[in-house]
């Protein structure tokens, strides 16, 4: 039984400190930008959804750009099959603030209306700015977010890929409008520790912002199923260390997993993030992956285990998070 719970400021609901990322759901509809194989079907996705819910996971993260809206449509169909489920699910989606969207207030509202339509709901629980790429000021973005909250279209608002400076500025802009900043979604894993080295994790704690950790198992690289001779396929540009460098991390994940009652590398890698104070949102393509990932809940790592994992982790220098941001 997991003892920790988290909440998004503005949303009156607690949830387990682990979610599900749904970028890969509907990814086959994305040309050029997709990074995952297209072999997953809606049946296996439905099984992943069900297994996650059965394991006590409520938070699902999507975006208007995932599968060009297909990820949201799939979630919409899953919810439509079981409408009573809506109140126990925490739905997070994102607005892509492309530089040409200069009327950001209108663009954000239109994008959210389209997301709500695809999801088949009245409002979303968390609406996030996908990356710090808008040409408009934080005040303009905060105005746009405040308007959709005032109209009941989103309960909580967040950002993604924001640096400490950007996040603090947005936090101030929202505060001036009486709104909390609920979350900042960034790349964070044992292969990418920039949220620690830049002070972002600490700043999130201080400001009451939930740090949502994306690519938390290194796009599959920390599961133990890939190796130098069997690297992940497809365009997986996050956490893109050579597998040779990751072997020592996996060996330590296995050792600590075995010492903690037979946990798998994925479960240990996810628990490391939860015990650091983050909420990881691993992708899951089927029931087996979803169930395994949910096994990160209900136990904790000791201080010695955390220190040993810190020791072998890779800080990550190839992605300049918050500055050069790749789509995802
Ligand atoms: N805001 C942003 O800019 C941004 C950027 C990236 C991601 N995200 C979010 O973060 C979520 C997760 O990130 P991610 O998909 O990049 O990386 P990830 O969660 O680290 O890796 C997910 C992939 O790992 C494999 N996997 C997952 N669980 C497994 C298990 N238990 N055993 C074996 N393999 C397993 C699956 O791919 P295979 O089976 O094919 O290996 C799965 O698609 C996304 O879905 C999205 O919601 C946001």
Q: Going residue by residue through the chain (328 aa), what tens digit of pLDDT does each one get?
A: 899 999 999 999 999 999 999 999 987 655 445 556 667 889 999 999 999 999 999 999 999 999 899 999 999 999 999 999 999 999 999 999 999 999 999 999 999 999 999 999 999 999 999 999 999 999 999 999 999 999 999 999 999 999 999 999 999 999 999 999 999 999 999 999 999 999 999 999 999 999 999 999 999 999 999 999 998 887 787 887 888 889 999 999 999 999 999 999 999 999 999 999 999 999 999 999 999 999 999 999 999 999 999 999 987 544 434 334 444 5
Q: Which domain holds residue 150?
A: 13-217+276-299
Secondary structure tally for the chain: helices H, strands E: 11, 10
Q: Is 66 a catalytic residue?
A: yes
> Which of 18, 19, 23 has the most ligand 1 atoms within 8 A of CB, as the residue to mutate?
23
Tokens coding 280: 């990881």
Q: Does residue 150 form part of some domain?
A: yes
Query: Ligand 1: which of 283, 323, 324, 327 to mutate, judged by most atoms within 8 Å of the beta carbon?
Result: 283
* Within-domain flag for 325: no
Residue 201 inside a domain? The answer is yes
Residue 204 lies in a domain: yes
**154 Cβ partners below 8 Å, 6+ apart?**
112, 123, 124, 125, 126, 127, 145, 148
Q: Give a yes or no: residue 228 inside a domain.
A: no
Residues sharing a CB contact under 8 Å with residue 4, sequence separation 6 or more, in sequence order: 16, 17, 274
Atom of ligand 1 nearest to the CA of 61: 47
Task: Give me the half-sphere count of Cα atoms (radius 13 Å) on the Cβ side of residue 224.
Answer: 16
Domains contained in the chain, number? 1
User: Domain for residue 184, yes or no?
Assistant: yes
Please report whether residue 256 resides in a domain. Answer: no
pTM for this model (two decimals): 0.95
Q: Where are any strands of DSSP class E within the chain? A: 6-7, 14-15, 19-21, 59-61, 90-95, 124-129, 154-160, 183-187, 210-214, 279-280
Q: Measuring from atom 32 of ligand 1, which residue has the nearest CA?
A: 289
Answer whether residue 203 is part of any domain: yes
> 23: CA distance to ligand 1 center in Å?
7
What CATH code is carried by the domain that includes residue 98? 3.20.20.100
């Amino acid at each position: 039984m997991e003892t920790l719970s988290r909440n998004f400021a503005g949303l009156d609901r607690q949830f387990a400190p682990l979610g599900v990322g749904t970028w890969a759901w509907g990814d086959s509809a994305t040309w050029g930008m997709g990074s995952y194989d297209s072999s997953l079907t809606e049946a296996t996705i439905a099984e992943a959804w069900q297994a996650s819910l059965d394991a006590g996971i409520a938070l699902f993260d999507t975006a208007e750009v995932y599968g060009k809206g297909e990820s949201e449509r799939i979630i919409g169909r899953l919810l439509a099959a079981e409408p009573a489920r809506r109140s126990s699910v925490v739905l997070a989606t994102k607005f892509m603030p492309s530089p040409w969207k200069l009327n950001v207030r209108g663009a954000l509202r239109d994008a959210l209306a389209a997301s709500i339509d695809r999801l088949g709901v009245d409002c979303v629980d968390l609406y996030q700015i996908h990356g710090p790429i808008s040409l408009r000021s934080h005040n303009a973005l905060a105005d746009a977010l405040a308007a959709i909250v005032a109209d009941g279209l989103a309960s909580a608002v967040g950002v993604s890929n924001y640096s400490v400076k950007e996040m603090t500025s947005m936090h101030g802009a929202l505060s001036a409008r009486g709104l909390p900043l609920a979350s900042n979604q960034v790349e964070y894993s044992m292969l990418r520790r920039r949220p620690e080295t830049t002070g972002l994790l600490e700043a999130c704690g201080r400001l009451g912002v939930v740090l949502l950790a994306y690519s938390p198992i290194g796009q599959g690289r920390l599961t133990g199923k890939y190796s130098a001779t069997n690297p992940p396929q497809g365009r997986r540009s996050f956490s893109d260390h050579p597998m040779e460098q990751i072997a020592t991390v996996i060996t330590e994940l296995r050792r600590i997993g075995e010492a903690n009652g037979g946990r798998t590398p994925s479960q240990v890698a996810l628990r490391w993030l939860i015990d650091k104070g983050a909420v990881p949102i691993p992708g899951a393509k089927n029931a087996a992956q979803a169930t395994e990932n949910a096994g990160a809940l209900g136990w904790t790592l000791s201080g010695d285990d955390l220190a040993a994992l810190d020791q072998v982790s890779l800080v990550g220098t190839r992605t300049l998070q918050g500055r050069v941001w790749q789509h995802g």
